[in-house]
Amino acid sequence: STYVLDLNEKPSEKCGVLNVTKITENGKKVRKNWTSSWTVLQGSSLLFAKGQGGGTSWVSFPSASGPFPFPSSLFGRSSRSSLFHLCTRQGTELLIQSEIDSVINDWFRALTETITTHAWE
Ligand code: I3S
């Protein structure tokens, strides 16, 4: 689904560039397609920019539901390090990765907080 981002609505909690791929969509396994994407965490939505400039649209993953799997569940999912696995209630699973350990650790912390905060919404 597309989410129209109103930047005046609320300041974003976090933004930056991450490598992202879906591994499952609506419960079905899909082929990985790693892309580097401008990513914004706002409220309970995680937004990935598609396209650039005036043509930017946003792919939203609202209602991300925890708990995050333990790192061991990443075994066999990717040869990349510094990544984590995010599941949404809609049955979409993403792998989120950065070359920089501290970057991925910060995102993991921010998303864990978001999921905890919005768990009962
Ligand atoms: O789980 P896989 O199949 O080892 O994932 C790799 C593939 O998705 C590959 O694409 P092709 O199947 O089109 O070759 C990607 O280029 C790789 O990046 C994937 O492996 P990593 O370990 O980077 O997630």
In sequence order, what are the residues at sequence separation of 6 or more whose Cβ sits closer than 8 angstroms to the Cβ of residue 51? 57
- With vertex at residue 6, the alpha carbon angle to CA 25 and CA 37, rounded to the nearest 5 degrees, is 45
User: Cα–Cα distance between 99 and 82 in angstroms, integer?
Assistant: 7
| Lining residues, ligand 1, CB within 6 Å | 32, 34, 78-80
By three-state DSSP, how is residue 29 classified?
Answer: strand
Instruction: Indicate if the pLDDT at residue 66 is higher than 50.
Output: no
**Ligand 1 centre distance from Cα of residue 107 (Å):** 23
**Ligand 1 centre distance from Cα of residue 31 (Å):** 8
Considering only residues 76 and 45, tell me which one the structure prediction assigns the higher pLDDT.
45
User: Whose alpha carbon is nearest atom 7 of ligand 1?
Assistant: 32
Considering only residues 114 and 71, tell me which one the structure prediction assigns the higher pLDDT.
114
**Ligand 1 centre distance from Cα of residue 43 (Å):** 31
- pTM for the full model? 0.78
pLDDT digits (tens, 9 = 90+) for 35-49: 999 998 877 678 888
Closest atom of ligand 1 to 31 CA is 8
- With vertex at residue 52, the alpha carbon angle to CA 14 and CA 83, rounded to the nearest 5 degrees, is 45
**Ligand 1 centre distance from Cα of residue 30 (Å):** 11
